[in-house]
Structure 1
Amino acid sequence: MSGLRQSMLAGSSSVLSEASVVELQPRGARRLISDRSLAWADAAKNRLDHLCQLPVGWDGYGAGPVRFSVARFAYEMLRSICGPDTPPPSIVPGPSGDLQVEWHLESGDVELHVRAPNDVHAWRQAPDAGEECLDLRNDFTDLVRWIKELGGSLSAANAAAA
């Protein structure tokens, strides 16, 4: 392995880092890159990294850090339900290695309690829909709709303000 590649790999200390090294293709070879820019992604990764490194007792009662499996699942869930213009969520640790992902906007509230991989309790309150609760395992279709509705209201508000 080249010295440059080794130093690049050694510099990647993020718990949730994705590979940052790309093999160069020979001249004339084609590679398609389809990584869409997600406004919320960097902040979410940094926050999840931080939560996985919390010291035991961070809450004053002996709680441990967020479990890596929970953080990784939450990030992949966010990638599947959020679009490029989705507002960044608040991400807060729970006392049992779990976490909550939350949006609190004028257009409504969405809270996702990620208890474990494939174990999510979802709650929302929206002016037009009232309150809804779901227990989800691996089908997040309803969450995609909820997030789009939050974002749609946000886009309409931004357009009206412009």
Structure 2
Amino acid sequence: MFTHFDEKGNAVMVDVSAKTETNRVAVAQGTIYTNSAVYDAITTNRIEKGDVLNVARVAGIMGTKKTAELIPMCHPLLISKVAIDFEFDAAALAITALCTVKISGKTGVEMEALTGVSVALLTIYDMCKAVDKAMKIGDIFLVEKQGGKSGNYKA
């Protein structure tokens, strides 16, 4: 059943007022694939525009907090914690971003985690596009969620 539509088919925001507040966590990840020049420049902090990963980290946190402004039916949430972390794969010339979001609330934070990881990856692309316009962003997915009525999920 789709909960973002009423009985007439009109778009609605889900009413969460009767739901119980619970601790909720979501983790999402995605990967950017680069050429060797970009990968080396990022991992040795030699991109002209500055510290790519720290800027991407801040952008991902900001993106997480703006999710309700970007995705029409998302509730504005009082987020307790956001962490953006990076993993490196030199063989694949890939950087994976992970976004972990925590709240105590009435609705989940999956969309916030997915938005945060997407914005972090887009920021890496933006800061490095002068060196490699062919970078590819992909493999964005929900790794896990905890809490709420639907319980826990792990990919």
TM-score in terms of structure 2 length: 0.29
More helix by share: 1
Computing the radius of gyration over CA atoms, which structure comes out larger, 1 or 2? Answer: 1
Kindly indicate whether structure 1 or structure 2 has the higher relative contact order, using CA contacts under 8 Å at least 6 residues apart.
2
